[in-house]
Structure 1
Amino acid sequence: MTSASGGAPVGAGFTAVDYAIFITMLAASLGIGVYSAIRSRGQESAQNYLLGNRAMPPIPVVFSVVGSFISSGSLLGNPTEVYFHGTQVVVNQVGIFLGFIVIHQLILPTFYRLRLVSVNQYLVLRYKSSTIHKMGTLCQVGYHLFYMGVILYGPALTLATATGLAPSASVVLMGLVCTFYMTVVSNYQNNNEEGVKKHDSETKMQ
């Protein structure tokens, strides 16, 4: 419902219940990562944690990939694109589908056989050049700097519209949550990997 003058929506803004749900969602996002990291401490290496010991069933893998692939840009941008310009954006899915076939048939089998985690590892094995490795890393960092800016700005505008919270404050809030999540999880997993290596070396000595 809008005001008589056609301005901002009447009663826009979060209530106490809305804020409680929002805070619970952020806490749950943090809690899942922290709980998983603490629960597996001293039991798993970083690779096992990131790759599910290469033995995960297909369904959880599908949900994980879909959750990673669908971003705020897709959720907010695609409906807007269809609203203003029609359904021609669907043509993009044809190229994406063909790209998935190439990845499934050519790239993933190669990575799986070589037991690689990232493209950067492949660059090292293929070209044996630290310069190419660094160039690949810099390209990834530059790409994600721009990408994350766009992905954070979309939800920030949405929150600003719904709550009155400044977009800059929303960006900082979500950035802190993500940074904390990744820092804690990475720290625990690094400790796990060091612990596993130490345990293996002690076992070999015995």
Structure 2
Amino acid sequence: MAGSPTLSIVDYIVIAATLAVPLGMGVYLAIKGRKRNTKEEYLLGGRKLHVIPVTLSLFVTFMSSTSLIGMPAETFTTGFVFVLHVIAVALSYLIGIVTIVPIMHTLQVTSMYEYFHLRFQSPLLRLLVTVIGMFQKIVFTAVVLLSPAVSI
């Protein structure tokens, strides 16, 4: 190699813009909406969001290092078969848009745990499902954090 790689002025401008745009949007929206300080407004967007932004938010939440690193590796290993998995996940999102999201919106519930409690009237079931969900998220987070470390 000719020398150690360095960043040019264009690189610094791109990095600054990447950091400044979301920061500017956050500051603008915080100043604009400072009069609405309710928990429902902060966590649920005042329940005024349509189905598509909510669904896209859920989708992006599940995109992680495992998706970005694992999908190409899985496609390389299994070939075209992995496309069937992608199609199945897309169909499950569409089914969720049509079935689960409208039910939860109508019932004004914030999570599936709250829905289980309303549906089955069992605090024990809600606690059990919550513990299982927490365990699943802990394992998922461990994999998400380990994947980039292993690849690096």
- State the TM-score, normalizing by the size of structure 2: 0.73
CA-CA distance at 1:126 after TM superposition: 1.3
The match for 1:52 is 45
Aligned with residue 147 of structure 1, among 130, 140, 149:
140
Residue 91 of structure 2: aligned partner: 98
- State the alpha-carbon separation in 2 of the partners of residues 123 and 57 from structure 1: 23
Aligned partners of 2:139 and 2:123: how far apart in 1?
25
**1:133 matched residue in structure 2:** 126
Report percent identity of matched pairs: 28
The 5-angstrom pairing of residues 1-206 of structure 1 reads 31=23, 35=27, 39=31, 40-41=33-34, 43-56=36-49, 60-61=53-54, 63-158=56-151, 161=152
C-alpha separation in 1, matches of 2:88 and 2:142? 25
User: 1:69, CA displacement in angstroms?
Assistant: 2.8
Residues 92-120 of structure 1, C-alpha deviations (whole Å, 9 max, x = no match) = 12322332233222211211110111001
1:66 is displaced (CA, Å) by: 3.5
The structure showing larger relative contact order (alpha-carbon pairs under 8 Å, at least 6 residues apart) is 1
| Runs of 5+ unmatched residues, structure 1 | 2-9, 162-206
Query: 5+ residue gaps in structure 2?
Result: none
Separation (CA, whole Å) in 1 of partners of 2:17 and 2:110: 30
Match of 1:179 in 2: none
Change (3 A) 1:58 1:99: closer
User: Relative to structure 2, which stretch is displaced further, 76-85 or 134-143?
Assistant: 76-85
Give the TM-score, by structure 1 length: 0.56
User: Residues 66 and 147 of structure 2 are in contact (CA less than 8 Å); yes or no, is this contact kept in structure 1?
Assistant: yes
Amino acid in the other structure paired with 1:131:
L
Q: Matched residue of 1:117: which SS?
A: coil
Deviation at 1:25, TM superposition (A): 9.5
Q: Could you report, residue by residue, the CA deviation over 1:41-86 in whole angstroms, capped at 9, with x for unpaired residues?
A: 5523222222222223566445433321322111100101112221
CA shift at 1:148, angstroms? 0.5
Q: State the shift of 1:26 in Å.
A: 10
